[in-house]
Amino acid sequence: MMPGWPHRYKVSDIVPRVGAVLVLALAAGACDSASPTSLVPTSPTLPTPVRLPVVQASFSPVPLEAKPQAGGAGAVTYEISATVTLRETAGVSAHLDSIDVTFLSPTGFSSSQRFDVSVDLAELSTATVPLIQVFEAATPIDSGVWRLAGAGRSGDGEAFSLASAEVPVVVRPVSAPAPPPVVAPDVTIAGAGDIAVCGSPGTEATARLLDRMPGTVFTLGDNVYPVATSQNFQRCYEPSWGRHKSRTRPAPGNHDWEEADTGVSYFTYFGVNAGPPGLGYYSFDLGAWHIVSLNSSVPSGAGSAQLEWLRADLAANSSACTLAYWHLPLFSSGPNGGSGHVRDIWRLLYERGADVVMNGHDHNYERFAPQDPDGRATARGIRAFIAGTGGAPLYWRRSYTPNSEVYENGTWGVLKLTLKSLGYDWEFVPAAGSGFRDAGSGTCVY
């Protein structure tokens, strides 16, 4: 017994109790050493964030125009035609199922329409959708806005909404009559593209065709090969097509521009007939027609200086008939194929009622049925010609592009158009020795 203890214990009583405590302590330590994290709380597993597409819309033209149509019982029917450009900006693929548009006037009138669409957008890509809304108003309207919304699914099947957007709408007065068509004598315009190769029999053969044709001469680019230099113009172009330089209204091609000196020699050779130096696009009137020469070697997409110039030029045009020409085609069955970057030009020309487009680049002759900028045949569409037959070596056919009506790749020649007050005649005139010809007539969309 130990003195001073409040109770009396035997050593034999104390040792078993102490041993039990030690065993428990050691056992707890063993558990801790075997599972050092067993007492640390774990964080819950968080779900992976859902990434949704962000699709933004822009419009062409700006502002939109509501065109009055015939209406019943005093009402007025309006048509709004727009090209909507959709752009995915979040890096997530998307599929758009529907687009909703609403016209709102300051007086409180509104009209909505849903378009069922099927538009696929890859990450950070764009797509264009043409839309036409037709609605009837009990009384005339004078302005408004067009609001757009829509819905679709991401590539993973998640639902998303199109970013809302709106654009102003102007209304042509109901009483405003369409301007009367210009009446003028018939005129002739003839030419081709892909022209002067030193020593080519085709270059001189097509120049001789022009010797017998009155009127204006056009070129569809790639005026001289292999590149446009002052020396090549003098050696290869001047002795043949140069005989008609004073009446030639040219367009530049890639061999005149990006593969040469960005048009310096081209402008030096053709002078004022090539339009303002450094631009490569201009317009002029010929008979009853408005003629536009464009430059496919400089930007022509949304926001470009060339497209905005063209928009203003066409807005100021009162002619019932419009023809445009440049080098790179939007549609082609030749080996170079179509060039999608000129689609905005095509679309604007289509929206403004242009009638004829002429191009070169593929060294062959091809004629298309009237069509819209997306390649759909329509009676109110633009008829396109490719006439890369001025003298450069001819090309083989690569494909059969929809709406292609005639294709010839074994004949040099020039395309001749007779422009009338409300229509035109076309004729492909071959170089001497060829039996191929193509001819027909068309009316203007006005």
Are 265 and 412 in a shared domain?
yes
For the beta carbon of residue 170, count every other beta carbon within 10 angstroms.
11
Are 223 and 360 in a shared domain?
yes
Angle, in degrees to the nearest 10, between helices 305-315 and 343-351: 10
207 phi and psi, to 5 degrees? -60, -35
Are 236 and 367 in a shared domain?
yes
Q: Is this structure's pTM higher than 0.85?
A: no
Q: What is the CATH number of the domain that holds 352?
A: 3.60.21.10
Are 287 and 351 in a shared domain?
yes
Are 139 and 208 in a shared domain?
no
Q: What is the CATH number of the domain that holds 132?
A: 2.60.40.1470
Is 329 within 8 Å of 359 (Cβ atoms)?
yes
Domain termination residue (choose one: 137, 171, 205): 171
Q: Say whether 383 sits in a helix, a strand or coil.
A: strand
In a domain, 10, yes or no: no
Q: How far apart are CA 413 and CA 133, in angstroms?
A: 44
In a domain, 148, yes or no: yes
Q: How far apart are CA 203 and CA 223, in angstroms?
A: 10
Tell me how far apart the terminal alpha carbons of the chain are, to the nearest angstrom. 126
Are 154 and 237 in a shared domain?
no
Q: Say whether 148 sits in a helix, a strand or coil.
A: strand
In a domain, 49, yes or no: no
Are 162 and 195 in a shared domain?
no
For the beta carbon of residue 218, count every other beta carbon within 10 angstroms.
25
Are 82 and 199 in a shared domain?
no
How do strand 321-325 and strand 289-293 relate by DSSP bridges? parallel
In a domain, 37, yes or no: no
Number of folded domains in the chain? 2
Per-residue pLDDT in tens (0 to 9) along the chain, 446 residues: 444 444 444 444 444 444 444 333 434 444 444 444 445 556 666 676 788 999 999 988 888 888 887 544 567 888 898 989 999 999 999 999 999 999 999 888 999 999 988 899 999 898 888 898 988 888 888 889 999 999 999 988 999 998 889 989 988 665 445 566 677 899 999 999 999 999 999 999 999 999 999 999 999 999 999 999 999 999 999 999 999 999 999 999 999 998 889 999 999 999 999 999 999 999 999 999 999 999 999 999 999 999 999 999 999 998 999 999 999 999 999 999 899 999 999 999 999 999 999 999 999 999 999 999 999 999 889 999 999 999 999 998 988 999 999 999 999 999 999 999 999 999 999 999 888 999 999 999 86
Are 239 and 375 in a shared domain?
yes
Are 155 and 210 in a shared domain?
no
Are 196 and 328 in a shared domain?
yes
In a domain, 28, yes or no: no
Per the structure, the complete domain to which residue 147 belongs is given by: 55-171
Are 120 and 66 in a shared domain?
yes
Is 411 within 8 Å of 436 (Cβ atoms)?
yes
In a domain, 1, yes or no: no
